[in-house]
Amino acid sequence: MSQTVQRAILIIESLAARPRTLGEVADILGVHRSTALRLLQTLEASGFARRLGDGRHAVGTRLIAIAQQTLETLDLRPLASPHLRALHGRHGHTIHLAQLIGDEVIYVDKLESTEGVRMYSRIGRPASLHASGVGKAILSCLPAGRLDELLSGVELTAHTANTLSTRQALDAELATIRERGWAVDDGEFEDFTNCVAAPVRNSTGDIVAALSITSLRVIAPLTELVDLVPDLLATARAISRELG
């Protein structure tokens, strides 16, 4: 393991929160200011960091571009996008596409509702595995060993009174999801938000993603979203078919 690279990464992590002075960066790394400066100079030469007018250092645009390029190389978004837009057009609620990438479920696309309210989900960020519809939809389709592996690194945090915060409760829910083929978020991450979600498989039947229709409870309660499940499942199947 390279400590020089670790330091560079720690610099980037610390800049992501907010721009920082050279002294702050040196303090965070526990190194001399000249060491921090040289690492920053290297990051800035490559575009991974940049220097603001007031002397502070910030994350650079090249890192942002690389992240976007990477998101674009994940298979699903271009292919899924027309389906998501069509689903969004028919219902107006927020639509999410989340993809299983390594050990995380990452939101890779999102169509905001016409309701004008911003959801917590952010493209590029992981979805909660145990407290989101897309997370549970994906978990329900994993082989037992892989499911154990993923959950071993997850703390079943109780975000609301509805959150399934024991492994037993989660397993029971996953069994229900397997049986009926779709998942729900019944105010499990945020009290006032609910959704229905469906898994998306590839041509070999492996789970790769999930799709969800999300709304504020005051706008569309869960019972209303459940009525949309047939359309959601049809959309998920259409995406699966196009995966080839």
Partner DNA sequence: ACATGCCATTGCAATATGCGCAACACATGC
Partner DNA sequence: GCATGTGTTGCGCATATTGCAATGGCATGT
Residues binding DNA (CB under 7 A): 1-5, 7, 21-23, 31-35, 37-39, 41, 55-56
Which residue in this structure is represented by tokens 């499942």? Answer: 233
Binder of a second copy out of 23, 30, 32, 64 (CB under 8 A): 64
Q: Does 208 bind a second copy (CB under 8 A)?
A: no
Q: Which is nearer to DNA, 26 or 174 (CB)?
A: 26
Sequence-distant (≥ 6) Cβ neighbours of residue 189 within 8 angstroms: 120, 128, 131, 132, 159, 160, 163
Q: Which is nearer to DNA, 168 or 204 (CB)?
A: 204
166 binds, among a second copy, DNA, none (CB under 5 to 8 A by kind): none
Taking contact as CB under 8 A, which single stretch among the options 14-22, 130-138, 157-165, 188-196 is the one that binds a second copy?
Answer: 14-22
Q: Which is nearer to a second copy, 122 or 167 (CB)?
A: 122
CB-CB contact of 110 with 97 (8 Å): yes
73 binds, among DNA, a second copy, none (CB under 5 to 8 A by kind): a second copy
Q: Which is nearer to DNA, 7 or 77 (CB)?
A: 7
**168: which 2 tokens?**
């037993």
Q: How far apart are the first and last CA of the chain?
A: 39
Binder of a second copy out of 30, 34, 90, 122 (CB under 8 A): 122
CB-CB contact of 181 with 160 (8 Å): no
Q: Does 43 bind a second copy (CB under 8 A)?
A: yes
CB-CB contact of 141 with 204 (8 Å): no
Q: In the chain, count of helices (H) and strands (E)?
A: 10, 7
Q: Does 148 bind a second copy (CB under 8 A)?
A: no
Taking contact as CB under 8 A, which single stretch among the options 13-21, 26-34, 175-183, 197-205 is the one that binds a second copy?
Answer: 13-21
CB-CB contact of 172 with 212 (8 Å): no
**Min. distance of Cβ 111 from a second copy in angstroms?**
9
Q: Does 102 bind a second copy (CB under 8 A)?
A: yes
Q: Which is nearer to DNA, 9 or 172 (CB)?
A: 9
Residue 173: what residue type? E
Q: How many other β-carbons are positioned within 10 Å of the β-carbon of residue 73?
A: 7
Q: Tell me the C-alpha distance between 244 and 240, whole Å.
A: 7
Q: Which is nearer to DNA, 72 or 206 (CB)?
A: 206
Q: How many other β-carbons are positioned within 10 Å of the β-carbon of residue 43?
A: 22
Burial class of residue 15 (count of CB atoms within 10 Å of its CB; 0-12, 13-18, 19+) = buried
Q: Which residues bind a second copy (CB under 8 A)?
A: 1-2, 4-6, 8-9, 12-13, 15-18, 38-39, 41-43, 45-46, 48, 50, 58-61, 63-73, 81-82, 85, 89, 101-102, 104, 106, 112, 114, 116, 118, 122-126
